[in-house]
Every structure is written in structure tokens, then in C-alpha cells.
Structure 1
Amino acid sequence: MYMNKTPRTTGAHSPLRILPRTKTRKTSKSACAAILPSATTPMDCRDCSILIIRRCSSSPTSKFYSRRKIPISTAWNSCLTPTRQAARSALNTPSRKVPSPSWNGDCIKMKFLRKIVWLALISLVVSTAWSQIQTHQYREREDAIANPLKGWVIWGENYTTPPQPTTLFFSYRSWRKLEPVEGRFEFEQWENDVWQPWTQRGMKVIFRVYADYPGRPIGIPPWLIDAGVTLTKYDDYGGGWSPDYDHPLFLEKVQRLIAALGERYDNDPRVAFLDVGVLGHWGEWHTYPRTELFASVRVQREIMKGFLTAFPTKKMMLRTPSSWSAQLAFGYRDDCFLTDTDGPEDWKFFNLFRSARAEDVWKTQPIGGEFCGGGEGAKTGTLNQPDECLRLIEEGHFSHLGPAGGSIVAENDAHQRHVDAMLKKMGYRFVIRDATFPLRVESGKPFVFQFTIENVGSAPFYYPWTLQIILRDLPRQETIVKNTEIDVTKWLPGQHGVNLQMIAPPVVEETTFHLGLSIGEPVEDGARIRFTNVGNEENGVFYVGEFNVTSAANLRDWNEY
């Protein structure tokens, strides 16, 4: 509490408010009131601590206060006016302790005043800090754009200009062509014959190796047949020859092929995904309706293990989910999208997922598919059942559809709008919603960069590409790139807040930097993911705004954040 009477001041300082330190140890109100105005009554107040709230400026309108606890003797010595200096001798004179006063209305008033002062201080600090912060909001663009590792897929064997935006192409290859002589692999010829025209355009491949393709020549190498692996003729789908998948020599040699494929392609940036093949018609893991020709469960699992060992990095897709494969690092491919995707039959694609308890596989592994009926099936399906296609893409979390999807030629504008809507929903689609950062920061000092990303697609991005912060000094044409440790594969559909602690770059004079975001493939001249925003985008970098960096007298090292 403060006393009923306070000393007047004749100097520049504003009046003091004097309070005892605690409720349990107070100086008598009547005794101190007698001392303070006259300083004639001997009394020992040296053990009392008091709280002083005083203006830090002589200005009567100053809003800044300081609070501190000091002994009462010190307070009188430093703050009393000359007319009260006589209190010094009284304060130094021993005397008995006096009873504590009651808790009166003056204390309540003081308590309220203290709260007001602190609220004012907090408000001032917050308003001052945030006055230097800028926040921007951004709009999503309406068009469909081609982005890496998602969307429509086109056949790789026939090189044409895709009528739809696409970044993926599909390529088959027979074991016979890949290993015409035992132990000699012809990978380079495959790449030159099929891949090169597409990869030169920055596109990536989804490939599959087969040992049996109905209507085409025998898929296994002649030397393997000569070694004793038997073939069985069939007439379905144009006819062909199915090898004995359970033959020990077949399993041994195919495991060597898988290992060679992994050694060459697991870290190859040209490869998007691997379509696990080898077994069954077209390498699709079935020999329907001749089910007796297919591999045993034991061989199927050995093949899966071989691919997992050979491809620890690349994402791979199987034809059919099972309770066993659902526990492994495989995605899946719907072999007959739209026609066989959903329905009451237990063999439908969605029902197979449910029975295998693989509904959450899409969160870490890609889901792809192709239309039944090739190019005509893709065109007819998107034209006649666009809403159903869109529903299946969203509920099944499909990242890509092909290999005929990229060759769809729209019948009319409405058809093209439906095709674009499907492309926008497939896979990821990252939109920057807002960003907050300083207007000005001192060189070498830390600052916070916050932004919100929304994935409005149906699936995440599946590879750990690098989220980069771009600082561009336009007058000097200099660009600084800082890599972050943000895991973009965790951006499932929905909003994601990012909070980065950064260090302002060193400058010798005040410099304006344009602040940008980019997600890049961690290889030299790698691809970039485009944010689907309206605004300033350049070479895969979206610029959220600009801020100034001021020079500092002593520049610190620009450390990694």
C-alpha cells in the first residue's frame, strides 16, 4: 500500500509511491505518516523494503515507468526533497517496531495502478514489435499445371507431343532385350531407344520389366530356355508363352536381373517410380484365366524381397495389395481405373485395399493406375464419367494415371475442363496461403520467417526434395540459396504451418532482398516443384515479398539456421 501522504518534490522527478514489501511486515500507517511529513519522530524503518514506481522522464506525459524494491532509507536519501532531508536522522535512529496497519483502499488503488502500467508497457512493446512485421496472403491459380512426379502419364514407345500437360512417361522392356546374353545387360540401349527423347524434355520414366507379354515374342532370354526353364503356351489375349515361375533357375537368374536394375536405377533421377513386374502377363502379377500358370506365394514373396533390397530409395508399385505386402514399402497400381476401381465385388481395387488393411499406404507410397481400353478408354472415361473419375482420384489418393492419360485429346471445352480438374486433384498441389516476415532486419541478426502451405491435392509428394529459401538482391543480380530441413513428404492434404529461424545476410549498406520459396530436386540441374499461386514466379521460385537488411557496425558470420 502507499501512505495517505507522500512527499512533495521540488526537483524534476515525479512523486514517489511508497509501499511496504509484504503484507506480513508493514510499518504502522500512523507511525510512518507521522515520520514522512515531519521526520521528527524517531523510528527504525531500515528493515522495511518499499516499492518505488516513478516516471523515467521529467515529462508529465511520460508513459514509461520503472519498478524496483529498495530499502526505505535509500529511498529517502535519494528521492526526498530538501524539506524532507531531516528524515535521514530519524530513519537511522533505532526504535521499536509498530503494529501493522489494516489493508485499506489505497492498496487496492495502487494494485490497480500497477496493472494498468504493466498492461500499457506490454501493449507498447507488442505494438512496437509488430509494427515492423509484414504479412501477405496469396491466391491459388485456377489453371492446371504440369508438376514433377504426378498427373497424366504418356506412352514412351511412341514419341509425340503430349496434348495434355505431363511430366511422366511409361516404358516396358522385356527381359530378353535387357539380357540377351547371360550376364550382359543392355540398359544403355533401352535408354537411348526410348528414354532419351522424353528425358531431354525434363520428363521422368515409370518402367516395368516383363517375362511374358501376350501377343509379343517370348519375353525370357533364349539362354534361360536352353538352361532348362520350361514354357507353357496359352491362347488368351492374343496368345503367348508363360515361363515356369517356380523353376529354381528362373528365380535365381531373375534375382540377379533385379539386383542389376537396382544398381543402375535406384539413384537415377530420370526414374520416377518402378512398376514391379517380371511375373505374370504383361508383368502384372496374374495369368487370368489360367491361374495355374502363375507363381506360387513363396516365389512372389522372394521377388518382392529382391526388389526391396535392390531399390531402397525408389518408390515402387505392385499390382495387387495383400495383407503381407501392405506391411512393406510398396505402393499400388490400379490396372483398370474407373472400370474395376470401386464396386461390390471383392476383387475391386478399393475392396482389395480394405481387405488388406492398406487404406493408409498412400500416405507414404504412391498410388497409380491406367484406364482399361488404352487411349480410347481414357478419352471415353473422362468424357462420359468425369465426376466419378474425380471421386475415385480423390478417395483413392491417386498420384498419376496413364500411360494413355497423357494422350487424351479433349472433345470440347467442357471435356478439357474436366481433364484439367482431374490433373489438379491428382497427387500433390501446393498453395502458399500466407507469409509473415520483418520489414527490416539488421545484418547478421536472427529473424523469423513464417508461412502456411496448403496441399489441395489428394496425396503427398513422395521424395525428400529440398525446401529452399531464396534471397535475391536485384540491383546486384545476386541470389543466395539456403536449404532447410523441412520434410515436404509430410505435407498430406490440408494446411501446414512452417516456422523458420533465419539469419540476415551480411551487407555493407542497406539492401533490399526479394524473399522466395522453392522445392528442388537435390541433384545438379534438378527439377523444381511449382507452387500453384498467382503472383511473382520465376524458374520454379515463388517470391512472397521483399524486406530490407541494414548494415551493422560489427558483422557476424552468417551461420546456418
Structure 2
Amino acid sequence: MKKMSVYGATACGVAFASAALALTGSSREVSRSSVSVAPPATAPDADGSRTMAAQGVASAVTVGSFLPSSSDFPNPERGFYRWISPGFLDQWTQSDATDAYNNGYRILYARISLEDYKNVDTLPANLIARLNTGFSYARSAGIKLVVRFVYNYPSSETDLSAGDAPLARIKSHIGQLSPLLRNNADVIAFLQAGFVGVWGEWHTSKNGFDDNAPGASNWAEVKDALLAALPDDRFVQFRYPRHLMAWVPAANLPTVASAIQGKFRYGFHNDCFLSGVADIGTFSDDADVRSQQRDYADRLGDVGPVGGETCDTTWSTSNVRRTACADILGEGAKYNFTYLNISYWRPEFHDRWEANGCMPDVRRRMGYRLALKGASHPSAASRGGAFSVNLSIQNDGWARLYNEHPVQIVLQNLGTNSAVRIATTGADARSWTPSSQPSAATVNGVVPSNLPVGQYRVLIALVDARLPNDVRYAIRFANENDPNANQYWDTALGAFNLGTTISIS
């Protein structure tokens, strides 16, 4: 059963009034040049308080409700993905990247072929240059990539004869690729481990990687090289629970809070999801071992990203496929799926989800889905002074947010429409886990000392930590615009207008 606990947060402990302030003269189009960013608030006072009374504010503005949405808003780092076209990153085009964004994709799968270099120690500079160009196409388009390096990619499910590279060369290549990965981490959603075996899927290696020895040092050496090659705010996803369990035993899996604090970086990709009792080798054929591995995968999804694809099972009559809506909705939530391939394997899975009516729900719930439930903040604040916004947020998705998206308070002047972004402390959107109950969050900010006095709209933004100035990477809340309460998603600011104002003096 899907775990519903919320680590590090209680159910909403903030009381929200039932009325919202209606505002006039709002503008939803603000140029980026009119937006400035203020630093975050300092630590709370010695007694831990940042109450409105302590801020010298006699009253509060509260919003008791927001309109929920049933729409499938495209959001960063989640949802169905399609492959880049042509099929390898160094062959990719800007037009395909832009087309993907325009068609609602925010995450794409990018293979990087090293087949020509499996017997070569040094990767050529022109390959690195072409890969840099490929990453730049993603950045220009406003999308992110799931990346996998491969030494072979056979076209048949049963052709397992292609070879990979020996351990020493794999490690050397990873080291040479580290600057590329670090320089482009902003548009890497997740890195799949790759490199070893057929399709880079960590099986059927021709170079001494024993499928039956997941704890062997050669597997761990590749793992360590990959984690070292990436910056410490990016995850590496591995193909098999048996390897992950050898490195991070179930008893050592962290809570969400400790995973964020300790920068836990392990994820899982199941490339035969729902495709048999053992998902075509993903889990053990031994029922007892398989049960342990499935339980581990369930728990891992709470703290590390899970994605993948369904796969072709028509070649084996013994596979018992799980194709019903109850299967995808139940196991998508159980294992916390963040992304899935949109096209492989459609006949047995996607087409049936479409026919049976659950595809809209699958699209909405895959990954995180954050909805505003309530908010409150002071009715007035002073320039240079601290203030807080209390939020009630519910995650109706299958997974938490894994990469950092800081919370910003955006103040927009009613008269000029100029806006300032205020960095905050006190809340981390990655801790808002899937739950039937909202999470309470208080974000603390400081009004810039040079902010003009006046009335300001209050908006909330979840920006990308590495791309904070690109609103295409801001997370949209799962709320509808409400003209009666003047609540709306401001596309130009990449923020949601709470429908309230604050007086700055």
C-alpha cells in the first residue's frame, strides 16, 4: 500500500479564514527586466518566532480556499517522456527540442552513444563539443533530459550479443565526461547509470560484470565513478534493486528529511514496468527474494526518483502482463513513478489505459502534483523587515519533488506592475510528499530596504535552483484561475497570485 506519511511536517496546523481579498487592476504580463531578487531572511528570532505580532503587524490576510484543477499542467522533471530525435544527443536538433516543449513535454530521454569508443581510451574533443551543443538545445527549449551513456543499443529484445567496455575504460570515460555533466547539470533531470551491458542496462556484459554478483567491486566502482562525476544535487538511477540493496540496505534507507539533508542520490529505473511477475528480470525469479526487492523498490521511491518504461512482452507467452487501469494507478503510486516512456510499449499498455479511461489520471498524477489549499500573511510589513507567509500545500501526485526548487515570495506593485522576488527560508518543496492531507509550510522573507512603499500583490513561486531566472522551469501549482478571488497563474512571472495584497511602508 502507498505510504501516506509526511516526513518532517504535520497536517496543516494553520487556520485559514474563508474569505479572500478581491483585487483590481492586476496584470499577468510582467517583463523579466522588471523583476529583481532579494536575499533570504535571516534565521528566526532567539525564541524561534516570526509571528505577525513579533513583526509589529496587527492583522493578517488569509485565503481559506483555492480552486483545485483537474488539468494536466506540464511541469519540470515529471510526466511522460519521448525520445529525442534523431536518437542520440550528439545528433539532436533544436527544432526537435522546441517541438517537444510546444507539445507539452518537459522531460525527454537522451541516449549518448559511445559505441565508436569502446576500444578507445580518450574521447575526442569534437564528441564533447557536439554533446554540449545537444544540452544547449534542451536549455534553449525549456526542457530537461534523462541521460544514459551506452556502448551498444541493439534493436532486438533478444539480441544480446553486443559488447560493452572493460571497467578501466568505463571509469576513464566517466572521468572525461564529468566536466560535461557538471556544466550541463541544470538541464539533466536524472542520469541513468548506463555504460555497462546491453543497452547500458547492467546485464549481459562482455567485460567481467557478473549478473549474479551485484555486490562485486566492479559494479560499485562504476557507481562511485558516476556519483563523483555528477554534482551532488543530481541523482543517479540504477536498473536493478539487487545492486541498490547491496549498497544501501533496506535498514539504511533514509527518511525524506534525512535524504534531503544528507543529499541521498540513488534512484531506480524499471524498464520493464508491469511486464511480468518479475518485470522481465528486474526482480528475482525467487518469490521470497522478489518480495523483498519489491518492498525495497517501494520504499526507495519515497526518497529517490523512479522512472522507466513498459516493454515488449509478446516474445514470451509466459509473461503475465498487468495492463488494467488498476495496475498502473496502483503500482504507479506504490513505486512513486516520476516519469514513463510515452511510446514503448503502447499496444499492451498505453492503448489500454486510453481505452479504459484512466490515461488522464495517469498523466495528472505521475510525479509530483502540488496544489495550494490555503495561505496567510501579514497585511503590512516594513522595508527591511522580516515577514512570513503560511501555506497549506497538498501533493496529489505519485512522488515527491527530487531536485531542488526553492520557494520565492514575489511582490508585485499594484501601480507599476514591477515585481521583486524574495528568497525564503523555512520550507523545502522536496519535503512535500504524496498525501491525502495537506502539509503546513511557513516561508520567511525580508522586504528589500529599497522597495518603494505601496500596495503589492503576493505571489508564490517554486523556481529551479539552477535556472532561477527562467520561468519555464518554475513549477505550476495544480490550481485553476479564480477571477472572483483574483487568483491566477502568472505566466510571465512563473508564480501563482494568491489573490491578496500587502502594504509596504
Do both share a fold (TM > 0.5)?
A: yes
Q: 1-side partners of 2:142 and 2:286: how far apart?
A: 35
1:25-81 per-position Cα deviation (integer Å, ceiling 9, x unaligned): xxxxxxxxxxxxxxxxxxxxxxxxxxxxxxxxxxxxxxxxxxxxxxxxxxxxxxxxx
Query: Which residue does 1:325 correspond to in 2?
Result: 247
Aligned partner of 1:370: which letter?
E
Aligned partner of 1:332: which letter?
F
Contact 1:439–1:548 (CA<8 Å) still a contact in 2? yes
Aligned partner of 2:463: which letter?
G
1:366-408 per-position Cα deviation (integer Å, ceiling 9, x unaligned): 011111139xxxxxx9996223111110111111111636999
How many aligned residue pairs are there?
395
Q: 2-side partners of 1:140 and 1:272: how far apart?
A: 27
Query: Which residue does 1:165 correspond to in 2?
Result: 104
Q: 1-side partners of 2:122 and 2:419: how far apart?
A: 48
Contact 1:399–1:427 (CA<8 Å) still a contact in 2? yes
**Structure 2: tracts of 5 or more residues without a match:** 1-52, 87-95, 250-263, 314-319, 482-487
Aligned partner of 1:386: which letter?
C
Q: CA deviation at 1:491?
A: 1.4
| CA 1:130–1:138: 2 relative to 1, 3 Å | farther
Q: 1-side partners of 2:345 and 2:410: how far apart?
A: 33
Query: Which residue does 2:178 correspond to in 1?
Result: 262
1:267-286 per-position Cα deviation (integer Å, ceiling 9, x unaligned): 52121111101111111111
Instruction: Give the aligned CA root-mean-square deviation in angstroms.
Output: 4.0
Query: Which residue does 2:328 correspond to in 1?
Result: 389
Query: Which residue does 2:460 correspond to in 1?
Result: 517
Give identity over the alignment, percent. 19
Query: Which residue does 1:175 correspond to in 2?
Result: 114
| CA 1:519–1:416: 2 relative to 1, 3 Å | farther
Query: Which residue does 2:81 correspond to in 1?
Result: 153
| CA 1:481–1:351: 2 relative to 1, 3 Å | farther
Q: 2-side partners of 1:155 and 1:302: how far apart?
A: 29
What are the equivalent positions in structure 2 for 1:9-28 lying under 5 Å apart?
A: none
Q: 2-side partners of 1:292 and 1:304: how far apart?
A: 13
What are the equivalent positions in structure 2 for 1:296-375 lying under 5 Å apart?
A: 297-311=216-230, 312-322=232-242, 323-327=245-249, 329-340=265-276, 346-347=284-285, 352=290, 354-355=292-293, 357-373=296-312
Query: Which residue does 1:537 correspond to in 2?
Result: 489
Query: Which residue does 1:201 correspond to in 2?
Result: 141
Q: 1-side partners of 2:116 and 2:366: how far apart?
A: 33
Query: Which residue does 2:259 correspond to in 1?
Result: none
Q: 2-side partners of 1:529 and 1:382: how far apart?
A: 34
SS of residue in 1 equivalent to 2:361: helix
1:176-226 per-position Cα deviation (integer Å, ceiling 9, x unaligned): 34678542331222454x65655432111112112233359xxxxxxxxxx
Matched, 1:282 2:199: yes
Aligned partner of 1:339: which letter?
S
Matched, 1:455 2:395: yes
What are the equivalent positions in structure 2 for 1:407-422 lying under 5 Å apart?
A: 415=355, 418-422=358-362
Query: Which residue does 1:493 correspond to in 2?
Result: 434
Q: CA deviation at 1:149?
A: 0.6
Q: 1-side partners of 2:129 and 2:172: how far apart?
A: 18
Contact 1:165–1:406 (CA<8 Å) still a contact in 2? no
Q: 2-side partners of 1:290 and 1:252: how far apart?
A: 10
Matched, 1:546 2:500: yes
| CA 1:258–1:469: 2 relative to 1, 3 Å | same
1:444-497 per-position Cα deviation (integer Å, ceiling 9, x unaligned): 554442111111111111112211110000312211111113322211113221
| CA 1:470–1:191: 2 relative to 1, 3 Å | same
Q: CA deviation at 1:441?
A: 4.1
Q: 2-side partners of 1:290 and 1:253: how far apart?
A: 11
Q: 2-side partners of 1:395 and 1:205: how far apart?
A: 24
Q: CA deviation at 1:364?
A: 2.3
Contact 2:151–2:200 (CA<8 Å) still a contact in 1? yes
What are the equivalent positions in structure 2 for 1:80-119 lying under 5 Å apart?
A: none
Q: CA deviation at 1:333?
A: 0.8
SS of residue in 2 equivalent to 1:363: helix
Query: Which residue does 2:339 correspond to in 1?
Result: 400
Q: CA deviation at 1:416?
A: 9.2
SS of residue in 2 equivalent to 1:498: strand
Contact 2:424–2:445 (CA<8 Å) still a contact in 1? no
Q: 2-side partners of 1:385 and 1:199: how far apart?
A: 37
SS of residue in 1 equivalent to 2:337: coil
| CA 1:176–1:349: 2 relative to 1, 3 Å | farther
Contact 1:178–1:187 (CA<8 Å) still a contact in 2? no
Query: Which residue does 1:428 correspond to in 2?
Result: 368
Contact 1:276–1:316 (CA<8 Å) still a contact in 2? yes
Q: 1-side partners of 2:105 and 2:346: how far apart?
A: 9
Contact 1:433–1:453 (CA<8 Å) still a contact in 2? yes
| CA 1:488–1:132: 2 relative to 1, 3 Å | closer
Aligned partner of 2:158: which letter?
Y
Matched, 1:237 2:173: no
Contact 1:444–1:505 (CA<8 Å) still a contact in 2? yes
Contact 1:261–1:310 (CA<8 Å) still a contact in 2? yes
Query: Which residue does 1:60 correspond to in 2?
Result: none
Q: 1-side partners of 2:138 and 2:453: how far apart?
A: 46
Q: CA deviation at 1:334?
A: 0.8
Q: 2-side partners of 1:350 and 1:489: how far apart?
A: 33
Matched, 1:528 2:474: yes
| CA 1:445–1:317: 2 relative to 1, 3 Å | closer
Q: 2-side partners of 1:212 and 1:188: how far apart?
A: 21
Query: Which residue does 2:168 correspond to in 1?
Result: 252
Q: TM-score, normalised by structure 2?
A: 0.67
SS of residue in 2 equivalent to 1:169: strand
Contact 1:334–1:341 (CA<8 Å) still a contact in 2? no
SS of residue in 2 equivalent to 1:324: helix
Q: 2-side partners of 1:358 and 1:318: how far apart?
A: 11
1:409-447 per-position Cα deviation (integer Å, ceiling 9, x unaligned): 987996495222112211111111000123344555544
**Structure 1: tracts of 5 or more residues without a match:** 1-124, 217-235, 375-380, 552-561
Q: 1-side partners of 2:390 and 2:188: how far apart?
A: 34
Q: 2-side partners of 1:363 and 1:298: how far apart?
A: 27
Query: Which residue does 1:466 correspond to in 2?
Result: 406
Q: 2-side partners of 1:352 and 1:205: how far apart?
A: 31
